[in-house]
Amino acid sequence: MEFSEMTAKIAGGNGFIAALDQSGGSTPKALKGYGIEEGAWSTEEEMFGLIHQMRARIISSPVFTGEKVLGAILFERTMDGEVNGVPTPQALIAKGVVPFIKVDKGLEDEVNGVQLMKPMPTLDALLERSKALGVFGTKERSVINSANAEGIAAVVRQQFEIGKQVLSHGMMPIVEPEVNIKSATRAECDQILLAELLKNLDELPEGQKVMLKLSLPIVPGTFDPLVTHPKVLRVVALSGGYERPEACVELAKNKGIIASFSRALLQDLRAQMSDAQFDAALGEAIDEIFKGSTQKADAAAAV
């Protein structure tokens, strides 16, 4: 796929984006969910080797195709690895799946109710390397824990600064200011975030677009103005801690928003499964998330 074909697929395709980008501190938790306990490795290298095996198994599964999975977000080590002897981004492209790369280096401590992204001094080099491997875009995450207008403005400002850096390399940024779904002020967070996103989108130069990855709003339809904004290529949703059935129900209430799920996609997969069991469980998850992404609930019933 050429860049223009990837753009068209992400903008208008029916399906969702798989998030296969657990990294650093979240890797042991992801492996435990997969049925591999912490004692199974003795070095960080072995740990990342095990998580790569899991991701390679997913990507090489016959049910994981571009028919329902539009894109996949990779951890840097996964991008640099191989699937069946082929560089991971090229293995995805061969299946009709558009590759993205997670570029953030984790979160700062909370200030003003939010956690900004840590500095990324080597981002330009990573972007150049990613693009050379055929990667289409990036994902960068920060977190909003409470309805602090100053904090949320800072999160969105930083997200768009990084987004512009990504755009300058001819790649597509997924801006991800995640609202903590356990926040006591979640509805207010959604409203402040919406206003800040619209402001920053309007300031983008003509012809430039970004993607948005957002927590599912507490009031369905809250993010409709983002879905239809001319400078937004696509709005995707994270599961944010919901179990898959609940995440898919909430997703179906929001027209035009597709999934970019991680844990909700992987939650039923186990290392001990036979290939047939693994493919069946993955196929069931893909079908359920695809349905939530493409078959939307009636607007009146959704509220």
| Catalytic residue IDs | 176, 213
Q: Determine the Cα–Cα distance for residues 133 and 155; give it in Å rounded to an integer.
A: 29
Q: Determine the Cα–Cα distance for residues 163 and 171; give it in Å rounded to an integer.
A: 9
225, 109, 209: which is closest to 160 by C-alpha?
Answer: 209
Tell me the HSE value of 130 on the side-chain side, using a 13 A CA sphere: 30
Cα–Cα–Cα angle for 126, 167, 143, rounded to 5 degrees: 75
240, 275, 276, 280: which is closest to 260 by C-alpha?
Answer: 240
Q: Determine the Cα–Cα distance for residues 198 and 193; give it in Å rounded to an integer.
A: 9
Q: Determine the Cα–Cα distance for residues 261 and 14; give it in Å rounded to an integer.
A: 15
Indicate the residue type of 289.
I
Q: Determine the Cα–Cα distance for residues 107 and 195; give it in Å rounded to an integer.
A: 23
How far does CA 204 lie from the centroid of its chain?
22
Distances (CA, A) of 102 to 36, 79, 136, 160: 23, 10, 12, 15
Helix runs in the chain, H state only:
3-12, 27-33, 44-60, 76-80, 88-94, 123-132, 149-167, 186-202, 224-227, 244-252, 263-266, 275-294, 299-302
Q: Determine the Cα–Cα distance for residues 98 and 239; give it in Å rounded to an integer.
A: 20
